Structure 1
Amino acid sequence: MKMSQRYDCKECNESLYGQKYILREDNPFCIKCYEGLYSNNCETCLKLISCISKDLSYKERHWHSECFLCNKCSRSLVDRPFATKDTMLMCTDCYCHEYSAKCYACLKTIMPGTKKMEHKNNSWHEKCFVCNYCQQPIGTKSFVKKDNNNYCLACYEKQFAQQCVHCKKGITSGGVSYRDQPWHKECFLCTGCKQQLAGQRFTSRDDSAYCLDCFCNMFAKKCACCTTPISGLGGSKYISFEDRQWHNDCFNCKKCSASLVGQGFLTCDDDIFCPDCGKEL
């Protein structure tokens, strides 16, 4: 008589005939061994989640279905949307009440997963983030905040912005004041070279603004020695004699190159000499 083949637990080798068992990767396990090897412990009650219980998992954590509850109100989260804060499970109502931002305009909760707009620690529903004047949604467009209200650029310019003296358009940021009149930075240019003057030294002549280079090249007197402009700006000193001028560093004896600043000197044609060298002429 041929003996029947044994059918034993893969782990403890006990016979499984007449017993409940579980197959895993084609290997049979008795209930006790399977639970000891593969079942998880519940995050809430810390007890084993048996084979006959429903195992609910989220991010490698496990719960009995009866233990899968909101940490605040204890309502079951089975088949319901939920959120997490640190390690806590919460229903969406409790999470919103505790942690979700409130809309700055309507003061209602901004639900998790919905689009919100943020600016300087304040939040809005997308539909509530509108221009205070035209009431059109601002979205991701540029805007200006004034007196705790938001305005699209067009409405802000129409209502509040100063007008640039040059281009006549509104100045929303980065303006320059010159002779008590407002300018855009990009409009406030040197009359000569047309470079921006904002942030650099400049001077004026006949109500027109010039960078220092252009002013010196166009209006400053030229040094009789080196022929470069003498700006006289910023407290720089120069020598003037009759109709000629010199930089301090250029006011030197033609022959011995000694500085004549504060000294007596003699002239011969267009040259200047110290008294000693002048005696040799």
Structure 2
Amino acid sequence: MSPTTATRELDSIMNELLGLDLEVPETGCDPTPPPLARKERQSMKDKKGRTEDEVPEGKPKTPPSNMDMEKLKKTDMIDDLLGGLTSDMEKMGVNTVAKGHCAACGKCIAGKMITALGQVWHPEHFVCFECKQELSTSGFFERDGRPYCEKDYQELYSPKCAYCKGPILHNILTAMDRTWHPEHFFCTHCGELFGPDGFMEKEGKPYCSKDFYQLFAPKCSGCNLPVKENYLTATNGVWHPDCFVCADCLQPFRDGGFIEMDGRPLCSQDYHKRQGTLCGSCGAPITGRCIAAMGTKFHPEHFVCAFCLRQLSQGVFQEQDGKPYCKVCHGRLFLTK
């Protein structure tokens, strides 16, 4: 038997030992230990031919239980295997030295082992720090000198998506000082992914520009649409510049001035029209003194005789067919026959 073949056979036997699940106390490792096992008694009979269950006369005999007998048989079988193999290997110059102490249990490792994180382990003792799942047949992740399975490592240490709270394993998107799965970063209102226009934030939530302006931007008092850029403030509201016109004639204010009435802006002409203060003769607004006659108002200088066009001083006139006449013209035109 070659040293290589003997080593393979030792590993095979150690696998069998692990499967037997015997409780054999550890006594520590010796750099140059004696053979792994030494038979101190024969399995069933000694050299005198007496079975080990036999006891001297005069002493009570206690029969062993089935469990004790089974354990005894397994121990004897292991002793035979290890003793013979150890003897053969030492004759060939192969030292049966322990491989080190397990980082988990601190006991000697004589069979298979795992080397990881700069230490050696029994395969069954190299487990996930969180869930205790064995890692000997799978990959692992390391954090602060501790091994983790992939699931627990990602759950504990991977960045979390601000929307689904799950770990982000591949592509990551960073926005608003948080991390997101790219497919989970969308408009809070309509649920659509953001396009080239990007997003707008309100109270820690992302919105597309359309929904943001529709939900939060001030509305124009003229057209009731969101005001996004240039605007002006008047009559306790905001306006698009193009929407700030006279409420009646819909014309822009030429001199920038307007008169408010019932919360709406009016030009001077329409304001006085609503108030009934347009001159009945020239049609212009009356802002000073006026003469009220025939159900309308006039500038004093425009209240004249309809025939001779002389100013009707002191408001004395004669009415005929809705027109004012001085006393003289009225008498000549309508009283003389």
* TM-score between the two structures when normalised by the length of structure 2: 0.33
Between structure 1 and structure 2, the one with the greater Rg is: 2
Higher normalized strand content (fraction of residues): 1
**Larger relative contact order (CA 8 Å, sep ≥ 6):** 2
